[in-house]
Amino acid sequence: MQHDSSVMPNRLSIKKTIFSAMLVIWSERENLSKYLAIPILCMVALTMSWTYLMDSLSEAVSWLLYFLYVTFCAVFAVICHRLILTGTKPAGWIPEWSWRESKFLAWLLLLLCIVLAAIFLTVSILGIFFANIFFESLDKSPNLFMQMKALFQIPAFYVLARVCLVLPATAIDEKTSIKLALTQSRGNGWRLAVIVGALPFSTFFLVDLLYRDGATFFEKVILTFLEAAVSVIDVAALSIAYKEITKKNDS
């Protein structure tokens, strides 16, 4: 597939992207349910293990659980992207690991590092700047700084949005790079920031509203499962966004 960097990518419609994601999830519900069952169950098991055993886990084991969780997230996302973008089904309901998943995991870890670095820089720089201006207000209201800190993270999601297209491209075996992703996302940075930032936050927040104090183990398992399951919306939206943005470059 050839990509002309001189051509402006399609203007992404956020509403259309999310609506299309919902439609494709419904149309592929049987395949998604079948092939995502194992990754989701593994993600739930790792989350519950970490939640209930974190006080007794060593730092090395905690990092190992986190790495395994991200690994199953990669498997989950690759299956979603391939089903939605190419209609390709896995060979069986038990996920397989290939060079494709390895590349996807590597990109995912790199993007996590980029986002964490961006958050650190923006929170540090903007935090110091505004702390000097609003020192008295922040001293009287510590919660105000926490609210401002959350706002300071928004630029980091713009950074993620500009490079996130490497993920669906890798999942469907398309040639990709940071440079190409920056070209493809040109003019759609903040729209993609909604897809990879605001949308996941919204779906997580809606599920989080169902939590209650004193929840039983069974309730926590169900809600953790629901959190993992609804994340298919986020992956599907990124798939549709990638498809729409790169569509006119496929000619």
- 3-state class of 23 per DSSP? helix
DSSP 10-43: PPPPHHHHHHHHHHHHHHTHHHHHHHHHHHHHHH
pLDDT at 129: 65
Supply φ then ψ for residue 133, to 5 degrees. -80, -45
Q: With beta carbons less than 8 A apart as the criterion, state whether 43 and 95 touch.
A: no
Q: Span 143-161, mean pLDDT?
A: 76
pLDDT digits (tens, 9 = 90+) for 210-242: 888 887 888 889 999 999 999 999 999 999 999
Share of the chain above pLDDT 90, in %: 60
Taking the CB of residue 251, how many other CB atoms lie within 10 A of it?
Answer: 7
> DSSP assignment, residue 177?
-
- Structure-block tokens of residue 242: 């990638």
Model's pTM, two decimal places?
Answer: 0.87
pLDDT interval class at 142 (50, 70, 90)? low
Residues 89 and 251: their CA atoms lie apart, in Å, by 25
Residues above pLDDT 70, as percent of the chain? 85
pLDDT at position 151 is 74
Instruction: Tell me the C-alpha distance between 90 and 155, whole Å.
Output: 36
Tell me the torsion sign for CA atoms 229, 233, 236, 242: negative
Name the residue with higher pLDDT: 220 or 192.
192
Encoded tokens for 82: 């391939």
Structure token pair of residue 163: 């490079």
